[in-house]
Chains A and B, each alone.
Chain A
Amino acid sequence: MHSWLTIFGIILIIWPGCQEPSFEIKVPDYFPEMKIPEDNVPTTARVELGQRLFFDKSLSLDSSISCRSCHLPELAFTDGKAISPGIHGRMGNRNSPSILNAAYLDLINKDGGVRSLELQPLVPIEDENEMGIPIQKLVKRLEKDRHYQKMAMTAYGRNLDAYVITRSLASFVRTLISSDSPYDHFMQGDSTALSPGAQKGLELFRSERLNCTSCHSGFNLTNNQFENNGLYQVYEDPGRSLITLDSVDLGKFRVPSLRNIAITAPYMHDGSLQTLEEVLTHYQKAGQDPTTTQSDKLKSFILSEEEEKQLISFLQGLTDSIYLAEL
């Protein structure tokens, strides 16, 4: 009798582990290893719960917006607006970034204030200008939903709470990978994936003359450093210095990935540049007008009309169509 009970107990303990296969996030082997917290290894149940939460408007105080409102899959998880309105049309102060490949970020958000994907969801959920609901209040609201409770139990073996909400959203965000652009195919040896013009554009992008790759380098076209790219003399948004409390970081923002850049306008932390042409116009004169904290990696240069077309054609080659139709 006793030993049967023991065996039954062991099965109960092992059961959740057996039942929940880990979720395989498909990434090409030229992507670096993804760091995943031990207590939040993705499983199908966790990702599904996170996905459901991501698209659920009841995550906002007046149930008017979801994560998707500002991160539309068809726009590489951006929203096409300079500043995304939150509840009651309230305006924050930053442009909604693509969250594709966010799994590879060590410091999250443009100023690097958040140190894990697990804690990031609390920013929009609790921010008065975004979803505007204290996390405890959200827990009280969602725990009444039996379906959510069941999913929470399967995914994390506990009731729906702040831990489950943040962990599952992070699990879902971690699965959002962009690695299938013409640029990827080109880099993997398909020399026809980029047009000859786009290939010239890539050369320009990598040239010392333009120096783009001194910041936009690597598999995700970012060195993940905080840089001031010379947008303003005086920044309304202090950027990185909000976090470090150090004035040398004034106007510095994390160098963003340029993947899917052609479909994620408008650009920069405040959405102040409307088109890629405007971005290139900015960079051509950026180096001429150094502010105190502007990066010395910025070069001033002049692009011919043809070169500008080539560079833009290259940037368009960074678009991955995988999410355009999905979700």
Chain B
Amino acid sequence: MKPAIKYFSLAIILALFGLACSKDNDSEPDMATLAFAFDFHVDGESLELGKDYTINGTTVSFDVANFYIGGIELEQANGTTIGLQNQYLLAGLDNTATLNGEIEVSDISKARFFVGVDPTTNSQSETDFTSRPSNDPLGIQDPAMHWNWNTGYKFLRMDGNTDTDGDGVTETGVAYHLGSDPMLKNFDLTTQIDLEGGENTLTFSFDLATFFTGVDLSTELDTHTGNNLPLAELLHENLGNALTLE
């Protein structure tokens, strides 16, 4: 995931460059750096791939846990909006995105973003994923985040194994893939994130137990969105509570 970070950092530097240019230079405010991190957990316990967890009474493990975050806009108390409109983060267990540029020290009071990929980019009509460089989060990923039988990206992908017969052994593959324009999930959070001079980290916290609220993982084995729309819609709904900003 290192290249993705590099790409993202570059984008942020460029974005900040634009920001810096429009600012007056007379006073020298305190500056802060910002990094993005992801904290995946099951009911407070950190997620490890391949490890067994119990969700809604079913033993389950995960091998893939990724989703896209885009359209990030952070409002600071000083009235500045940091916008990263066309950039994407691929949220994943060990993924981080370090912001190499600096912003003024002022608390973040609002955060807007979405999970998914905007309709234009998702339509693949301008640049498709095969045309993107390998260090672009929207380029080809391993594990893959592009769909092949359907246009665009898996906005969110959770794959693993589950225990269907209650013997505690996770023997059956499961796959939960959300995608297509209606599955885009908007977030508009009022937050109180103190920024300090120097390093700061913004952590997206994702709770799989909340994400699977109301889902019997021993029987609901997959959704590729269209083939099991009711499950996709439930997960889409749950996502709103499962993802928070620390």
A contacts, CB < 8 Å to B: 39, 109, 113-116, 118-119, 122-123, 125-127, 134-136, 161-163, 166, 238, 241-243, 245
**In the assembled complex, which residues on chain B have CB atoms less than 8 Å from the CB atom of A135?**
130, 140, 144
Selected A-B contacts with CB under 8 Å, 17 pairs? A109-B149, A113-B149, A113-B150, A113-B151, A115-B125, A122-B148, A125-B148, A126-B144, A126-B148, A135-B144, A163-B130, A163-B131, A238-B226, A241-B226, A243-B150, A243-B180, A245-B226
B134-177 vs A, CB cutoff 8 Å, 1 = contact: the mask equals: 00000010101010111100000000000000000000000000
**In the assembled complex, which residues on chain A have CB atoms less than 8 Å from the CB atom of B149?**
109, 113-114, 123, 127
Which residues of chain B in 204-246 are interfacial with respect to chain A, using CB atoms and an 8 Å cutoff? 225-227, 229
CA distance A90 to B42 in the complex (A): 35
Would you call A119 and B140 a contact (CB within 8 A)? no
B230: min CB distance to chain A, Å: 11
**In the assembled complex, which residues on chain A have CB atoms less than 8 Å from the CB atom of B125?**
115
B180-213 vs A, CB cutoff 8 Å, 1 = contact: the mask equals: 1010000000000000000000000000000000
**In the assembled complex, which residues on chain A have CB atoms less than 8 Å from the CB atom of B148?**
114, 119, 122-123, 125-127
CA distance A163 to B182 in the complex (A): 28
Would you call A114 and B151 a contact (CB within 8 A)? yes
Would you call B226 and A118 a contact (CB within 8 A)? no
CB closest residue in chain A, given B142: A136
How many A-B pairs have beta carbons closer than 8 Å: the answer is 60
B contacts, CB < 8 Å to A: 123-125, 128, 130-131, 140, 142, 144, 146, 148-151, 180, 182, 225-227, 229
CA distance A309 to B142 in the complex (A): 55
**In the assembled complex, which residues on chain B have CB atoms less than 8 Å from the CB atom of A162?**
130, 140
B125: min CB distance to chain A, Å: 7
Would you call B128 and A116 a contact (CB within 8 A)? yes
**A166 and B142 contact, Cβ closer than 8 Å, known pairs A113-B150, A115-B151:** no
B156: min CB distance to chain A, Å: 16
B120: min CB distance to chain A, Å: 13
Partner of A136, one of B131, B140, B182, B225: B140
**In the assembled complex, which residues on chain B have CB atoms less than 8 Å from the CB atom of A245?**
180, 182, 225-226, 229
B119: min CB distance to chain A, Å: 13
Partner of B124, one of A109, A116, A126, A127: A116
**In the assembled complex, which residues on chain A have CB atoms less than 8 Å from the CB atom of B226?**
238, 241-243, 245
B244: min CB distance to chain A, Å: 27
Interface centre among B124, B130, B150, B225 (most CB of A within 10 A): B130
**In the assembled complex, which residues on chain A have CB atoms less than 8 Å from the CB atom of B123?**
115
**In the assembled complex, which residues on chain A have CB atoms less than 8 Å from the CB atom of B140?**
135-136, 162
CA distance A136 to B123 in the complex (A): 22
**In the assembled complex, which residues on chain B have CB atoms less than 8 Å from the CB atom of A115?**
123-125, 151
CA distance A115 to B227 in the complex (A): 19
CA distance A116 to B131 in the complex (A): 13
**In the assembled complex, which residues on chain B have CB atoms less than 8 Å from the CB atom of A39?**
131
CA distance A245 to B125 in the complex (A): 20
